[in-house]
């Protein structure tokens, strides 16, 4: 399905949407959980399966209830930040952006379309991921919103963070003209709850899981699901593709 949309703003999730190796974020969840007393079966693969799109406090509460542990929120989050900083320092070659994410953001910025980030991740880890990939330069710091920024900013699928960003851009009465791109059911739920256009992204998923991932995003309410920023640009935003005078023009093959 194709649709020509001229969005008033485009917002993004980070893990598995702008930042490709989402498994690294789940690796730090696993490291910190086990350090804080969770059973060792909470490995990276298990965390990917159970916690995609979840906020750290939601993860912590789930494990405490499921395993009868008493992991402290702050200790768990500090462990996540410590582990992610170590990965960024010792394995920088793994800190990569999703394919064509930078070019897509350049094009949106050229068109003066506001952009922003809404993530359930830790603020510090989100900024580490965006900095390592160079994508942080596309966003004002105030446009990177996580539940850790302050009281009342509930995690997705609550629409509160998306609505906060729309209000910042003075678009709170026109949310139906805003696109939110994400890779989890929580992302799609938040977009629908905010009355935004929900675009599912499967480009960071393993090929053998892409079909299942697409179905899960559609079941969560995605208006569209695409496998790459190339597809989003060519099928959902063809008017942007044909901007001949664009300073940041690029080839999407």
Domain limits, the chain: 9-20+96-241, 22-93
CATH superfamily of 9-20+96-241: HAD superfamily/HAD-like (3.40.50.1000)
Q: How far apart are CA 193 and CA 158, in angstroms?
A: 7
pLDDT (tens digit, 9 = 90+) per residue, 32-42?
A: 999 999 999 99
Average pLDDT over residues 188-207: 92
Give the helix/strand (H/E) hosting 11: strand 9-12
Res 241: pLDDT: 45
pLDDT at 151: 64
CA-CA distance, 111 to 158, in Å (whole number)? 29
Q: How far apart are CA 228 and CA 245, in angstroms?
A: 24
Residue 130: the pLDDT is: 98
Give the pLDDT confidence score for residue 5 in this predicted structure.
76
pTM score, whole prediction? 0.89
What integer pLDDT is reported at residue 22 of this predicted model?
82
Residue 242 pLDDT greater than 90, yes or no: no
Averaged pLDDT for residues 224-250 = 69
CA distance 63 to 71: 8
For the segment 218-226, the average pLDDT, to the nearest whole number, is: 96
Residue 236 sits at φ, ψ, to 5 deg, of -100, -30
Whether the predicted pLDDT of 2 surpasses 80: no
Task: Work out the end-to-end distance of the chain between its first and last CA atoms, rounded to an integer number of angstroms.
Answer: 20
Confidence check: pLDDT of 64 > 50: yes
Closest CA to 24 of 73, 97, 118, 76: 97
What average pLDDT score do residues 4-17 get?
91
Mean pLDDT of 89-112: 95
Residue 253 has pLDDT above 50, yes or no: no
Q: Diameter of the chain by CA atoms?
A: 60
pLDDT at 245 over 70: no
Beta strands in 75-126 (DSSP E): 115-118
Question: Angle of helix 56-67 relative to helix 44-51, nearest 10 degrees?
Answer: 110
Q: How does strand 178-182 pair with strand 9-12?
A: parallel
Please report which confidence band the pLDDT of residue 87 belongs to, taking 50, 70 and 90 as the band edges.
very high
pLDDT averaged over every residue in the chain: 90
Give the span between the Cα atoms of 228 and 253, in whole angstroms. Answer: 11
Per-residue pLDDT, 248: 38
Residue 6, CB-side half-sphere exposure with 13 Å CA sphere: 5
Residue 34's closest CA among 59, 6, 13, 7? 59
How high is the pLDDT of residue 111?
87
- Rounded Cα–Cα distance for residues 245 and 55 (Å): 41
Task: Say which residues have a Cβ less than 8 Å from residue 103's Cβ, sequence separation at least 6.
Answer: 229, 248, 250, 252
Going across the sheet that includes 144-145, the strands are: 144-145, 115-118, 9-12, 178-182, 197-201, 224-226
- Which band of pLDDT confidence, cut at 50, 70 and 90, is reported for residue 177? very high
- Average pLDDT of the residues in 27-34: 98
Q: How far apart are alpha carbons 7 and 226 in whole angstroms?
A: 17
Is the confidence at residue 228, as pLDDT, over 80?
Answer: yes
pLDDT over threshold 60, residue 203: yes
Confidence of residue 239 (pLDDT cuts 50, 70, 90): low
**Two tokens, residue 85:** 């900083």
Distance CA(99)–CA(86), nearest Å, equals 24
pLDDT for position 149: 62
């Amino acid at each position: 399905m194709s649709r020509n949309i001229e969005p008033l703003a485009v917002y993004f999730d980070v893990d598995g949407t702008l930042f490709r190796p989402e498994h690294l974020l789940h690796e730090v969840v696993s490291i910190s959980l086990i350090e804080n007393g969770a059973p060792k079966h909470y490995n990276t693969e298990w965390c990917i399966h159970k916690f995609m799109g979840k906020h750290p406090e939601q993860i912590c509460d789930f494990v405490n209830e499921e395993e009868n542990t008493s992991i402290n929120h702050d200790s768990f989050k500090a462990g996540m930040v410590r582990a992610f900083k170590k990965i960024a320092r010792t394995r920088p070659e793994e800190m990569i952006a999703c394919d064509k994410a930078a070019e897509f953001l350049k094009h949106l910025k050229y068109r003066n379309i506001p952009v922003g980030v809404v993530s359930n991740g830790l603020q510090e880890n989100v900024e580490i991921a965006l900095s390592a990939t160079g994508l942080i330069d596309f966003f004002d710091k105030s446009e990177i919103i996580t539940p850790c920024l302050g009281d009342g900013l509930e995690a997705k699928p609550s629409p509160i963070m998306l609505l906060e960003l729309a209000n910042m851009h003075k678009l709170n009465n026109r949310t139906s003209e805003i696109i939110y791109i994400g890779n989890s059911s929580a992302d799609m739920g938040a977009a629908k709850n905010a009355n935004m256009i929900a675009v599912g992204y499967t480009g960071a998923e393993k090929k053998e899981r892409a079909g299942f991932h697409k179905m899960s995003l559609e079941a969560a309410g995605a208006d569209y699901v695409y496998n790459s920023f190339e597809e989003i640009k060519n099928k959902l935003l063809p008017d942007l593709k044909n901007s001949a005078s664009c300073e940041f023009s690029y080839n999407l093959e």
